[in-house]
Amino acid sequence: MSLVGALDPRFSKRIQQVFGLEAAPLTLDDLTFAISDKVAVGDIEVANLFAGSPTRHEVDFQGEVKHTHCALDALMLPFLTGRDITLRSECPHCGDVVAVKGTRSGFRPSRPKAVLSLGVALEGTGQAQREACPYINLFPSPRHYREWAAVTGGALTIMLSLKEAHRLLRGPGCC
């Protein structure tokens, strides 16, 4: 499966700025390479993914309950640590909880139509946790994403299936 399709140029530029990427990712495939590069060179520290206080994203990380700043940070854990996780994330639209069992080989959601948003604030020079994390969420279905996105100002967002999200984090390799 390949993630095709060009990203909105404003989205690309902001992702580059906020995540400190060398080049603006023009497509989701570009973003896949950029993320797997960061993982490969150890640019992403596991400790930095956990929040000091509860968030909408609760992770069961081998029996330990932790919270992450966004849904993607939790889903990254299997790739960074080799450990499976279960993420319970509240939909920012209605508060319903979506659970995802995450392993290196796939993401299994409790809701078959669950989707992930990727997003970034239109402006701002803060850390990714502030500029991007509020816009990186799990939703029970595309409808919840669309209704949330329609009333979420000041940000650019896109929607990914969990298959696409898995591929984004797993990287561009085969299988």
Number of residues that bind Zn ion (CB under 5 A): 4
Q: Residues 65, 114: contact at Cβ < 8 Å?
A: no
- Identify the DSSP state of 88: E
For residue 56, state whether it binds Zn ion (rule: CB under 5 A): no
Instruction: Copy the structure tokens of residue 119.
Output: 């997003």
Nearer to Zn ion, 68 or 89 (CB): 89
Nearer to Zn ion, 41 or 150 (CB): 150
For residue 116, state whether it binds Zn ion (rule: CB under 5 A): no
Nearer to Zn ion, 14 or 93 (CB): 93
Q: Pick the closest to residue 18 from 136, 115, 139, 116 (CA basis).
A: 136
Q: Which of residues 127-146 bind Zn ion (CB under 5 A)?
A: 144
24-41 in b/e burial notation, b at 16+ Cβ within 10 A? bbeebbbbbbbbbeebee
Candidate list 34, 35, 70, 91; residue touching Zn ion; CB under 5 A: 91
Nearer to Zn ion, 18 or 149 (CB): 149
Instruction: Copy the structure tokens of residue 47.
Output: 């400790």
Q: How far is the CB of 111 from Zn ion (least distance, A)?
A: 10
For residue 65, state whether it binds Zn ion (rule: CB under 5 A): no
Instruction: Copy the structure tokens of residue 166.
Output: 């898995």
Cα–Cα distance, 29 to 23 (Å, whole number): 13
Q: How far is the CB of 96 from Zn ion (least distance, A)?
A: 5
Q: How far is the CB of 94 from Zn ion (least distance, A)?
A: 3
How would you list the strands of the sheet with 106-109, edge to edge?
64-67, 57-61, 85-90, 97-103, 106-109
Q: How far is the CB of 120 from Zn ion (least distance, A)?
A: 21
Nearer to Zn ion, 65 or 94 (CB): 94
Burial class (CB in 10 A: 0-12, 13-18, 19+), 6: exposed
Q: How far is the CB of 76 from Zn ion (least distance, A)?
A: 23
Q: Which residue ranges make up the site for Zn ion (CB under 5 A)?
A: 91, 93-94, 144
